Chains A and B, each alone.
Chain A
Amino acid sequence: MVNKKFLIVEDSPTMRRIIVNSLKRFGVNNVAEAGNGVEALKKLETDRFDVLITDWNMPEMDGKDLVTHVRQMPQYKSIPILMITTRGMEEDVITAIKIGVNGYVVKPFTPDILRKKIQDLLG
């Protein structure tokens, strides 16, 4: 985990801060941030990331569309993707799996859940 480069995509500055601070506590210091899917795609194109953590509900481009785009990028076909969202319906989880999300966390979550999900993602 500690050697991986993370991209956090989340429109709430508070949530981004919570996730980034948590990653720091887990020993991860190589972290970039984006406020929506459009910003995230720009960063993904110009830089190289090992893990994508994304929210669902975001302006301009939501997490679902972002993940769909990312899975079409050859360099990111297999990038581990964790979705962190308030959406907790069964159909949302099914949609997320169908578009290629590898892990799903519902807000609010605890530090332990976040750590475990990331560890599961990275095998």
Chain B
Amino acid sequence: MSDGNGFDEVLKKIEKLQESVRISEEVLPIVNELFYFVRDIIPIMVQVNAFMKLSTGKLPTAKENIANVTKTTENATAQVLDSLDMLSEKLFELRQLIENDTNKEKQLQLVDELSNSIADMTFAFQFQDITSQQLSHVNQILEAIYDRFLSFFQSSLSLKDHSSLGGSVIEAIEYEIRKQMKSDQVEHFEKETEDKIRKTDITQEQIDNFFDHLKKKNVADTE
């Protein structure tokens, strides 16, 4: 099939088949239905195929960006921790000099070095801006994929109205989907994708109060 004409070629072949086959009046409506259904479903399949190729190309980028976020924050954290270690050492040195009341110049030099370490730590926090952009890109990819899936879903539903065969096929698919949703595979998927990251605004104080309340309740129940 030539590029861009594949779908037209298939339709022409089916039309020729329609013309050439001698079929009874009972069978003709079914063949017509089949033709309409094939005509409707082929563009959707083409789009789905193209989209799958496109999105599988984007997913590695999304994964890479997420990995980069981890790497960036790790590097920034290491930088801050190194600066903090250096700060501690210099503060200890400064303390000794002040205690012994010696070498004012050295004391001032240490104060300057401390100041520079603090500046270095400040710069390490650039990671917040960088990682925010990386995650924003991942979000964009996921949103685009989601929107596309939604539009395919809506396109496939519209097949119901174009031919009775289309309607029957979609109803059968919907029935099978309802069965699938109760299956172990779906349960496993839900478990794998469960959001375990703490997102609530609950404070430590609230948790501690809740703990104390439960402990008291337990004690009261056993008395």
Contacts and interface: CB of A to CB of B under 8 A. Distances in A.
A21 B120 CA distance: 12
Given A12-B128, A108-B127, A18 B133 contact: no
Contacts of A18: 122-123, 125-126
A110 B128 contact: no
B45 to A, nearest CB: 36
Interface string B122-136: 111111111011000
Interface residues of A, number: 14
B86 interface: no
A107 B130 CA distance: 8
A62 to B, nearest CB: 12
Interface of B: 76, 119-120, 122-130, 132-133
Given A12-B128, A14-B128, A109 B133 contact: no
A107 B119 contact: no
A4 interface: no
A109 B123 CA distance: 8
B32 to A, nearest CB: 53
Given A86-B129, A86-B130, 17 more contacts: A12-B128, A12-B129, A12-B132, A14-B125, A18-B122, A18-B123, A22-B119, A22-B122, A57-B133, A107-B129, A108-B127, A108-B130, A109-B123, A110-B120, A111-B119, A111-B120, A111-B123
A25 B126 contact: no
Interface string A83-123: 00010000000000000000000011111000000000000
Given A57-B133, A86-B133, A15 B126 contact: yes
Contacts of B129: 12, 14-15, 86, 107
Interface in A1-22: 12, 14-15, 18, 21-22
B126 A109 contact: yes
Given A12-B128, A14-B128, A108-B127, A21 B133 contact: no
Interface string A48-86: 000000000100000000000000000000000000001
A108 B132 contact: no
B121 to A, nearest CB: 11
Contacts of A57: 133
Nearest 5 Cβ contacts at the A-B interface: A12-B129, A108-B126, A15-B129, A14-B128, A107-B126
Nearest to B119: A111
